[in-house]
Amino acid sequence: MSTAFKPDETFRDSFTFRNSEAAIRRFPMPFPEDNYMYSVNIEPHTAGPPGSVTEFPIDIDEHYVAECNERALVLAAEPLRFQALPHMMSAQWDCLELIMESLARDYPQHFALARAGNRWHWINRPLGINRHFTFGEASSLDRQPLDFITRQAQGDWVVMDQREGDLWTEAGMVTTQADWSLDFDVGMTFKEWHGPVPIAHELGVFDRALKFLLNLRLGAPVRRLNWTMTVHPRLDTSPENYPFWGPDRAAVTALNAGDLVNLRVELQGLWRLPRSNAVVFSIRCYLISLRELVTVAKWGRRVHRVLKNLHPELVDYKGLARYRDAVVEWLAPYDDGVPTTPGTAPE
C-alpha cells in the first residue's frame, strides 16, 4: 500500500483528522453481528488480506507521522506517560527489536534496519531518523529503548512481566488510551489492571484470557479487537486529561453527532518476547467519524443496532451515557431494517 502521510493532521484543538476513502474501507470494524457483548475474542495474529490493517503484524497507515507528532506533544507535557520499572530493561530491548524488525521488513520504502552483530543502524524516513546504536547498551540511545521506538510507532504499548503465575503491568508507552492511566496502573497484575471493566470478570473473561496469555508462545502472536467511542478524533482521552475532554461529551446532539462522534477501535496484538519472556500488548487505535462510517451501508445499519441495544453497564463503562441516545438518533435514518450479513467486512 502506498501511503501518503498527512503530517499536519491534528488530534486536538482544530481536529483536522480525516480518513481517506481507502482508510475508511480498511477500517477494522469490531462488530461481527448486530449485538455486542464481551468475549475472549482472541485469534492468531496471522496475515490478513493485502491492504487490510492485519496484513502486517504492526500496521502503519496514512496517519503515521501525525500520530507520532501527537505522541511527542503528549510526552512533552507529561513525561510519566512512559514508564518502565528497572527490571524491565531486557523487555524494552525485545520490544525495540520486534518493532524495528517488523517495520523494516514490511515497509521497506519507509524503514531500514541493518545489523552487524550488536551494531545496529536504523533509518526512519518519514520521521527523518538515522541512528547508529548498540543493541543492549542503554547508553548508546538517548532515551530508554521502549521510549525511543514507541515514539516511532502508532498506538500504545504495554509490557507485562510473567512471574508467579501472573502477568504484571510494568512498562509502557500510553498516550492514546481510552481512559486508563499507566501511571496509576503500573505494578498491577492483569486482573487488577482490568479491575474497572464491568461484567467481564463475572463472565470469566479475564481468567481465561490470563490462562491463555501465560502460555503465549514465541512466534505465535495473537490479536483481538476492542472498541469505544470518542467525541472528536481525540487520541489522548486519558484520565489525566479528563478535565479537558470530559466536557466534549456534553456537547453532542442528534444534529452534530455525525461529525463529532467517532467510533474508536483498538486492534490489540499480544506477543511473547524472547529475552525477557515478557508479554507485550500493543493497542493500536483507529478512529472513524460516524459520517465517514455510514458511507458503508452495512456499517451504518449495524452500528445503529449495536448501540441501541448495548447493555447499560457497557454504555456506562464505555463513557457513552451522556450521548448514546443522540448517536442512536443520528444513525437511525441509516438503518432501514434490512438484515446484515455476519462478519465485519463491508458488503
Give the per-residue contact string, 244-273, with another protein (x = CB under 8 A; - = no). --xx-xx-----------------------
Q: How many residues does the chain have?
A: 347
Minimal distance, residue 242 CB to another protein, in Å:
5
How many residues touch another protein under the rule CB under 8 A: the total is 50
Among 33, 137, 316, 336, binds another protein (CB under 8 A): 316
d(CA 92, CA 302): 40
Out of 49, 79, 195, 333, the only residue in the binding site for another protein (CB under 8 A) is 195
Are 172 and 158 contacting, i.e. CB atoms less than 8 angstroms apart? yes
Cα–Cα distance measured from residue 294 to residue 229, given in angstroms and rounded to the nearest whole number: 15
With CB under 8 A as the contact rule, the residue among 183, 259, 325, 329 that binds another protein is: 183
Q: How far apart are CA 290 and CA 307, in angstroms?
A: 12
Would you count residue 243 as binding another protein (CB under 8 A)? yes
Helices of type H across the chain: 21-25, 64-77, 89-106, 145-150, 182-185, 190-193, 205-214, 242-245, 257-260, 290-293, 297-308, 312-317, 324-331
Provide the annotated active-site residues. Answer: 224
CB of 208 to another protein, least distance (A): 13
Is there binding between residue 336 and another protein (CB under 8 A)? no
Q: What is the footprint of another protein within residues 32-71 (CB under 8 A)? A: none
Amino acid at 93: W
β-sheet bridge partners, residue 115: 120
In the bound state with another protein, the residue whose beta carbon lies nearer, of 232 and 304, is 232
Which of these ranges, 26-34, 48-56, 181-189, 298-306, lies near another protein under the rule CB under 8 A? 181-189
Q: How far apart are CA 60 and CA 325, in angstroms?
A: 34
The CA-based angle 140-142-148, given to 5 degrees, is 105
* The three grid cell numbers given for residue 88, joined into one nine-digit string: 524491565
* x/- track of binding to another protein for residues 67-106 (CB under 8 A): -------------x------xx-----x--x---------
Q: Which is nearer to another protein, 301 or 318 (CB)?
A: 318
Residue 137 interacting with another protein (CB under 8 A): no
User: What is the secondary structure of 110-146 as a DSSP string?
Assistant: TEEEEEETTEEEEEETTTTEEEEEETT-GGGSSS-HH
- Supply the angle between the helices 324-331 and 297-308 in degrees, to the nearest 10: 140
Judged by CB under 8 A, which stretch of 18-26, 126-134, 190-198, 283-291 contacts another protein?
Answer: 190-198
Please, which residue, 50 or 217, has the CB nearer to another protein? Answer: 217
Residue 215 touches another protein, criterion: CB under 8 A = yes
Among 172, 269, 300, 319, binds another protein (CB under 8 A): 319
Residues lying near another protein in the complex (CB under 8 A): 80, 87-88, 94, 97, 136, 161-165, 179, 181, 183-188, 191-198, 201, 215, 217-220, 239-243, 246-247, 249-250, 274-277, 316-317, 319, 322
